[in-house]
């Protein structure tokens, strides 16, 4: 390819995908070849990581196949003798008599007092601009930015599995009952399809998506909170003893009473354990309630 390659020249890249790439900030083949597959897939809607890797590889191949332009050396113009500039005529030399007279003339002697004055006059005074240029400002020391410490809960996780979970969550369809979009009498909650001749159960093309094990996230990070804490249900204060505040987060069960709930919150605060559903820490007592009512009556 002699001309500069463009995005539309790449194989498997249509006009719609080209528009999406331009919106994401990738306007040339060189920008596409330098991009990273996972970040490109996040920016462009409907683009998988594998497809992004294929596009980047194709862009790199096209750039390698383009020959680098070589500048041709221009031939030097031959200068003809006629066009050459004529030599300047030699200047006339002074007569010999004047030269001899200048040599024979005795040189004037300079006294010791006049000598330092002449030397001072000959030395040029330094200008203000030269003084400004000579002044060198001290360089500021570059301060290294300290990298933030990675929490323990992130170190124990495989980041590849986290990316897989994120990608699957984006592609996850909305499961609803068959014909729920057609009839108002059918609720949109999911119900397993049991018909013998149902095209949806047979997974025919154009039918709704069915719940299946393929949509599940990896087992290592399946029941994690979005903040990457391991969520642990708690029923009594003694359940907090074996938990690590850097890894675990607590969710108080719905059946726990108010008094026991306050004990769990106090122990969790003492051990710096995160509670996901703390609610109101202090309940209004009966005495405070009656005093508020008396003030309203007055």
Of 86 and 218, the structure prediction assigns the larger pLDDT to 218
**Which pLDDT score is estimated for 214?**
87
The domain spans of the chain are 7-65, 162-222, 230-298
Task: Give CA–CA dist 123/54, Å, rounded.
Answer: 73
| pLDDT band, residue 9 (cuts 50/70/90) | confident
Task: Give CA–CA dist 252/20, Å, rounded.
Answer: 46
Q: Which two tokens stand for residue 81?
A: 């003798």
Question: How does DSSP classify residue 276?
Answer: S
Q: What is the pLDDT of residues 122-162, one digit of tens each?
A: 655 656 555 555 566 777 777 777 777 788 888 888 889 98
On the question of pLDDT at 61 being above 70, the answer is yes
Question: How many helices (H) and strands (E) would you count in the chain?
Answer: 11, 3
Of 214, 221, 231, give the one whose Cα is nearest residue 161.
221
On the question of pLDDT at 106 being above 70, the answer is no
Q: Which fold has domain 7-65?
A: DNA polymerase; domain 1 (1.10.150)
Q: How far is the CA of 11 from the CAs of 19, 35, 37, 68, 85, in angstroms?
A: 15, 17, 17, 22, 61
Most distant pair of Cα atoms in the chain: their distance: 135
Phi, psi of 232 (to 5 degrees): -125, 125
């Amino acid at each position: 390819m002699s001309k500069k390659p463009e995005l539309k020249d790449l194989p498997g890249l249509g006009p719609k995908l080209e528009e999406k790439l331009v919106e994401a900030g990738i306007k040339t083949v060189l920008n596409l070849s330098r991009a990273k597959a996972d970040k490109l897939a996040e920016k462009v809607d409907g683009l998988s990581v594998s497809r992004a890797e294929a596009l980047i590889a194709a862009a790199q191949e096209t750039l390698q196949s383009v020959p680098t332009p070589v500048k041709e050396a221009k031939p030097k113009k031959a200068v003809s003798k006629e066009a050459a500039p004529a030599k300047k005529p030699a200047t006339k030399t002074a007569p010999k008599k004047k030269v001899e007279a200048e040599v024979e003339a005795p040189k004037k002697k300079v006294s010791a007092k006049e000598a330092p004055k002449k030397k001072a006059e000959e030395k040029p005074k330094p200008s203000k601009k030269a003084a400004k240029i000579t002044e060198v400002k001290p360089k500021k020391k570059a301060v290294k930015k300290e990298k933030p410490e990675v929490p323990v809960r992130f170190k124990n996780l495989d980041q590849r599995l986290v990316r897989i979970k994120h990608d699957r969550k984006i592609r996850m369809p909305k499961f609803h009952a068959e014909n729920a979009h057609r009839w108002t009498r059918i609720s949109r909650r999911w119900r397993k399809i049991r018909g013998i001749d149902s095209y949806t159960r047979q997974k025919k093309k154009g039918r709704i998506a069915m719940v299946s094990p393929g949509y599940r996230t990896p087992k290592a990070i399946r029941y994690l909170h979005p903040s990457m804490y391991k969520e642990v249900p708690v029923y009594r204060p003694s359940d907090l003893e074996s938990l690590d505040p850097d890894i675990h987060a607590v969710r108080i069960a719905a059946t726990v009473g108010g008094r026991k709930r306050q004990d769990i919150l106090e122990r969790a605060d003492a051990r710096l354990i995160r509670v996901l559903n703390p609610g109101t820490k202090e309940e209004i007592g009966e005495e405070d309630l009656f005093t508020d009512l008396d003030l309203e009556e007055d």
